[in-house]
Amino acid sequence: MNRSGFLFAALFASSLLGQPALAAPQESVPPSVVAAPEAETTPPQEPSIVDSLLGKANELIGTPYRNGGASPLTGFDCSGFVSYLFKSNLDVTLPRSSKDMSRVGESVEKDELKPGDLLFFKTVKRGISHVGIYMGNGQFIHSPWLGRSVEIAHLNYAYWSKRFVVAKRLDLPETESGKPSPQLAAVIKAVSNPQQGTTK
């Protein structure tokens, strides 16, 4: 090999030795998967007895008024509407007339009303003659009079505000699975079955 060939070979070898070695491909390591924390499941709360009662009352909106009526099939008068709701939802038999109903429960100031309270009105001269169920926000649901049907009214309307007499709160259970207190049952029984000799 001549001098020039020797130099070429030496340069070629040195160039090979100077190249960086290729790194062996590494396996890709998947990032560690962090399990998302399980969402805490809160058991559904049992609806309050008042929510259930007002829900059923809303379903009866549009049922026509009928004097002496106490059934969604034939119609309601005011006390029949309230009596039906309490009997069908709570198995509580309230006195049949609004006047007798007003003798049950604890009196409540107008500015302390809560949904489910009973509202009593004097629409005729002989005294309490009408009842509805307070829904909140100044509204109540009732069966007003002949030619109308179950509807929601506003307590602050002049007609009802002037005729409002008293509100009563019954000692109801907190949830549907509860039962009315023995005290409430005793009062209702006493009002519904007055002693003999007592005049109405």
* Apex 81 CA angle, 76 and 84, nearest 5: 115
Q: Would you state the structure tokens that stand for residue 15, as one six-digit string?
A: 């160039």
> Per the residue annotation, which of 81, 85, 130, 144 is the catalytic one?
130
Q: Show Cβ contacts of residue 194 under 8 Å, excluding neighbours closer than 6 positions.
A: 200
Backbone angles phi, psi at 117, to 5 degrees: -65, 150
- Note whether 122 and 163 are within 8 A (CB): yes
Residue 60 CA: distances (Å) to CA of 1, 9, 101, 103, 115: 114, 105, 21, 26, 17
> Per the residue annotation, which of 49, 57, 78, 128 is the catalytic one?
78
Q: Which helix (H) or strand (E) holds 141?
A: strand 139-142
Rounded distance between C-alpha atoms, residue 99 and residue 63, angstroms: 23
Strand, helix or coil for residue 133: strand
> Per the residue annotation, which of 102, 142, 155, 160 is the catalytic one?
142
**154 catalytic, yes or no?**
no
Which amino acids are annotated catalytic?
A: 78, 130, 142
